[in-house]
Structure 1
Amino acid sequence: MNLLLDIQEAIEKNDTQNAFYFGDTFYTYKEFAQVISNIRKGIQDHISENDSTVGLITNDDIETYASIIALWLEGKAYVPLNPEFPESRNHTVIKQAEINSILDSSTDKVFDQFKTIQSNTLDIAEINLTPRQIGPNELAYIFFTSGTTGTPKGVPITFGNLSGFIDAFWDLGYEITNKDRCLQMFELTFDLSVMSYLGPILKGACIYTIPKDEIKYSYIFELMEDHELTFALMVPSILHYLRPYFDEINCPAMKFSLFCGEALPLDVTQEWSQCIPNATIANVYGPTECTIFCTDYTYKRDSENKTYNGVLTIGKDMKNTTTIIVDEDNNEVGIGEKGELCLSGAQLTPGYWKNEEKNKEVFFDKEHEGKKVRFYRTGDLCTVDDQGDILYLGRVDFQAKIQGFRVELSEIEFHAKAVLDKKNSVAVAFINSIHNTEIGLVIESTAFDTKQLIEDLKNRLPQYMIPTQIRFIDSFPLNTNGKTDRKKLKEMFN
């Protein structure tokens, strides 16, 4: 597998360079190689060769990142488990992914009831970064995203998918070298983290992470100023938090500033461009199902940028992706017409993990340019202009992006209804005063104290899925189709 050989070569070639910065400590690639090798020996000694998926506790330390590489060298997929997520949700993921073993760098094991290898207590091993023979269809990771039935759905990504992404990314011309200092701001359960560590590792660059006890946006500001970061992939909501401090931010060292995971407003981008005067700014797009991101648009500093309702275009498909926009019957729509964005190509997942019902719903075959091609429905409403640039118009369904995480509003409703003893509730996504997306919950009931409801939801859902505001209504309004009028409910939060 060329990708794994490239990882091996990059680590060995840059052994004296800094690889990671955690808190206030640097680790070199030589130290990284040693920790990878220690964990790899632990995997060989304690995990069956037949176990293709291994749980990974998502701590912010050298052992956690080394565990990813060690698992890959052994041809195993990692399944990230955030110890701060509800235990019941993590147990569901462990069961679904058929995990028998967990790698954990915590001082105290997170899961006593599962076989755990404590990666920070392993013996020193001989350095060994030579990968096993691994085919492109072997899995690199499985990320679990929000599911409509209240159960998270698994998105497996193969080494072939990952190789397709890396090939397409380098093709865009983003030059990273072993002199670069790169931000990794993402929780490891979020697939943008993969780009944020893998791209730099392949070039021998240094990766700067965010400690879990720090305020994310202010720590990013500090890193950019104190360490002169040169590459950053961020979610746009970070800009909304930083916006009050734009006058103080001056980072001429920044070379590339990429945004993904949410709509990127033009006005904030224009202001941000003054803070990073020498950087290329890009808006990239892609669902987890198409490996990190698959379209790209470079912001133009000196000429007009393409927007829809003030949101930057997501640009054109990258090298290994084909995009089409279709109507409800899967027929391609004309230029300027609205439809659902669909994706295909080398980056596309083989399909949801053991979920044929969902696969039939979102994947379909279609004749395209004389060939039968498998496409994925993104659920994103888009249009394309006569130059091939895609404009994002909104969601076809009721998903939302919260802090970059994709959230099925129906999952929140599912759990709220269970907690509320079948009372009707509707979750809506709304934009707050600083232009970030929040979740509101409307309950069909007279008003009551919601403290217990919030506590119960916190035991079932990650923090980013907990409603921040709650409203009450005697009965839900209906639209002309007799369906609940979500637009009217959303207005309750304006």
Structure 2
Amino acid sequence: ERGVAAVVHLLASSMAGACAVPLDPGYPDARLALMTGDPRLVAVVAAPEHAHRVPGNVPTLPADDLDRPSSPELRPGPDAPGPGATSAGPDGDGDRGHRLATLMYTSGSTGAPKGVEITHRGIVRLVRDERIAFRPDDVVLHCAPLAFDASLLEIWGALARGAVLEIAPPGPLSLSELAEVVRERGITALWLTAGLFHQLAEYEPDCLERVRLLLTGGDVVSPHHVRAVLTRWPGIAVVNGYGPTENTTFTTCHVLADPAGAAGASLPIGRAVAGTGVHLLDAYGNPVPPGVPGELWTSGDGLARGYAGRPDLTAERFTTPDRGPLQGVRMYRTGDLATLRDDGALDFLGRRDLQVKVNGYRIELAEIEAAVLAHPDVRQVCVVVEPDAFGGKRLSAHVVAGADAARLTRELRLALRSRLPAFMVPARWTVVDSLPLTANGKTDRGRLTAAPALQKD
């Protein structure tokens, strides 16, 4: 769980030249088994109550015994430095900056999570941008789950900048509990997912009185809530951050310091962070002019090495053109559409595929649909994202099945909770006679809410 011991072990792993793989104890056993299946795995650090969930062939280190000497049976990490070497310096110093710092799993469209290999250089570049940097006199809140890439900014951003890192209590927090932590611990800088920011701005804005830097993103940020916060607390800077895990948390950001800056119907995602390149390309790989939609590709020091054990997928998403204006530049294809404004900032337009972000978590809808289709009574399924009652988003599953609707939805909930993280289990289930189709025969996701429902909950 989130706590002092977890931060200490992350530091120890980095200093040893090893790569840390956060394992969320809230994940079901099936998913943890997938994440611990990497043949390079040397050991698992686990709290006593979770030790029984570690595979039997993997050594276990007790999380609460910080003074335990290193075990002789442990091999050096996959990127351990040679004799006399130190951990990666600020400029990488040769290849050391490209050593793996952490492996973070994201949702995968094939039904299995993808392990993103994040480097030391990527994290160093993240904490260097002055627009999102913490200060030595800041009190930074660490509230994100360790398996969520926002934790990289919270932990390393605070430690690298000499700030105080305040660690929220373990487990999920209610809105009032979060507000209490922010208020009572004197938090001056924090990261919130867009959905959580909207709720805090709506129901607990007083807790932000001492905050000077509020970073948000992971989804579309509401201008209304930004205006409300900036009007109530003029000293706050709200940063709208955008970026996939494959480019180490943030790719671009946009700083808002007064309500007038949030007067439009949408907020820009801004300009590239330090050490990062952003490129808007057409279907042929050519840059598009300002005002024309293009797919967002990114390059620079934040790029991950690729996907662990997936050279095919790595080659597909991390590419280096051999011709054209970007010849020789290694890039990651985000799958997001954006336009370049006249002032040089980027506007986010949406996804090209079925990858979405809900409450800051990037989710492949196809992975959820594959899990639902594993049920023998399900004939078809389509998972969509819809607004929730708090101005955020939730997952909604529409199922075609030849079974009692009430029983089926109960069984599906239980089945998915045993296979997927809680944030990937749909909050609403609807059993329908059929799925609506577009003119070309594809599922019409936009019409699903109008489909005749047999059972809703």
Tell me the amino acid that sits aligned with residue 485 of structure 1: D
- Verify: 1:469 aligned to 2:428, yes or no: yes
Tell me the amino acid that sits aligned with residue 289 of structure 1: E
- State the alpha-carbon separation in 1 of the partners of residues 267 and 60 from structure 2: 45
Question: Which residue is 2:247 aligned to?
Answer: 290
Tell me the amino acid that sits aligned with residue 194 of structure 2: P
1:264 paired residue among 221, 229, 233 = 221
Question: Which residue is 2:388 aligned to?
Answer: 432
- State the alpha-carbon separation in 2 of the partners of residues 293 and 148 from structure 1: 22
- State the alpha-carbon separation in 2 of the partners of residues 123 and 239 from structure 1: 39
- State the alpha-carbon separation in 1 of the partners of residues 16 and 146 from structure 2: 20
Task: Structure 2 unaligned segments of length 5 or more: list them.
Answer: 71-83, 89-95
Tell me the amino acid that sits aligned with residue 173 of structure 2: I
* Alpha-carbon contact 2:140-2:158 (below 8 Å) kept: yes
Question: Which residue is 1:68 aligned to?
Answer: 10
1:382-430 CA distance string (max 9 Å, x none): 1111221111111111111122110100000000001244511011111
Q: Scaled by the length of structure 2, what TM-score is found? A: 0.87
- Verify: 1:104 aligned to 2:32, yes or no: no
Query: More displaced, 144-153 or 345-354?
Result: 345-354
Structure 1 residues 249 and 488: CA distance shift in structure 2, 3 A: same
1:385 paired residue among 341, 350, 369 = 341
Structure 1 residues 80 and 213: CA distance shift in structure 2, 3 A: closer
Question: Which residue is 1:198 aligned to?
Answer: 156
1:353-385 CA distance string (max 9 Å, x none): 121221232222235757521221111121111
Question: Which residue is 1:55 aligned to?
Answer: none
1:89-147 CA distance string (max 9 Å, x none): 11111113632310123455242523201031354779xxx973551121000001000
1:80-91 equivalences under 5 Å are 80-91=22-33
- State the alpha-carbon separation in 1 of the partners of residues 172 and 34 from structure 2: 29
* Alpha-carbon contact 1:340-1:378 (below 8 Å) kept: yes
The root-mean-square deviation of aligned C-alpha atoms, in Å, is 2.4
- State the alpha-carbon separation in 2 of the partners of residues 413 and 433 from structure 1: 24
Question: Which residue is 1:49 aligned to?
Answer: none
- Verify: 1:405 aligned to 2:364, yes or no: no
Runs of 4+ off more than 4 Å: 367-371, 490-494
Query: More displaced, 111-120 or 187-196?
Result: 111-120
Question: Which residue is 2:111 aligned to?
Answer: 150
Query: More displaced, 320-329 or 93-102?
Result: 93-102
- Verify: 1:351 aligned to 2:293, yes or no: no
Q: Give the number of aligned pairs.
A: 427
User: 1:234: how far off?
Assistant: 1.1
1:315 paired residue among 250, 267, 270 = 270
1:433-475 CA distance string (max 9 Å, x none): 3221111111123552211111011101110111111112222
- State the alpha-carbon separation in 1 of the partners of residues 450 and 349 from structure 2: 19
* Alpha-carbon contact 2:194-2:219 (below 8 Å) kept: yes
Question: Which residue is 1:228 aligned to?
Answer: 186
Query: What SS does the corresponding residue of 1:373 show, helix, strand or coil?
Result: coil
User: 1:173: how far off?
Assistant: 6.8
Tell me the amino acid that sits aligned with residue 389 of structure 1: A
- State the alpha-carbon separation in 2 of the partners of residues 461 and 251 from structure 1: 34
Structure 1 residues 173 and 155: CA distance shift in structure 2, 3 A: closer
Structure 1 residues 327 and 147: CA distance shift in structure 2, 3 A: same
Tell me the amino acid that sits aligned with residue 185 of structure 1: C
User: 1:480: how far off?
Assistant: 1.9
- State the alpha-carbon separation in 2 of the partners of residues 261 and 283 from structure 1: 9
User: 1:303: how far off?
Assistant: 3.0
Tell me the amino acid that sits aligned with residue 465 of structure 1: M
Percent identity of the aligned residues? 27
- State the alpha-carbon separation in 1 of the partners of residues 237 and 154 from structure 2: 17
- State the alpha-carbon separation in 2 of the partners of residues 234 and 409 from structure 1: 23
1:482 paired residue among 413, 419, 441 = 441
Tell me the amino acid that sits aligned with residue 411 of structure 1: E
* Alpha-carbon contact 1:64-1:105 (below 8 Å) kept: no
Query: What SS does the corresponding residue of 1:103 show, helix, strand or coil?
Result: strand
- State the alpha-carbon separation in 1 of the partners of residues 121 and 384 from structure 2: 37
User: 1:343: how far off?
Assistant: 0.5
- State the alpha-carbon separation in 2 of the partners of residues 214 and 341 from structure 1: 33
Structure 1 residues 441 and 124: CA distance shift in structure 2, 3 A: closer
Q: Scaled by the length of structure 1, what TM-score is found? A: 0.81
Query: What SS does the corresponding residue of 2:22 show, helix, strand or coil?
Result: strand
Tell me the amino acid that sits aligned with residue 209 of structure 1: I
Question: Which residue is 1:330 aligned to?
Answer: 285
Question: Which residue is 2:417 aligned to?
Answer: 458
- State the alpha-carbon separation in 1 of the partners of residues 242 and 279 from structure 2: 14
User: 1:153: how far off?
Assistant: 0.5
Structure 1 residues 321 and 441: CA distance shift in structure 2, 3 A: same
* Alpha-carbon contact 1:138-1:158 (below 8 Å) kept: yes
* Alpha-carbon contact 1:83-1:110 (below 8 Å) kept: no
Task: Structure 1 unaligned segments of length 5 or more: list them.
Answer: 1-58
* Alpha-carbon contact 2:134-2:163 (below 8 Å) kept: no
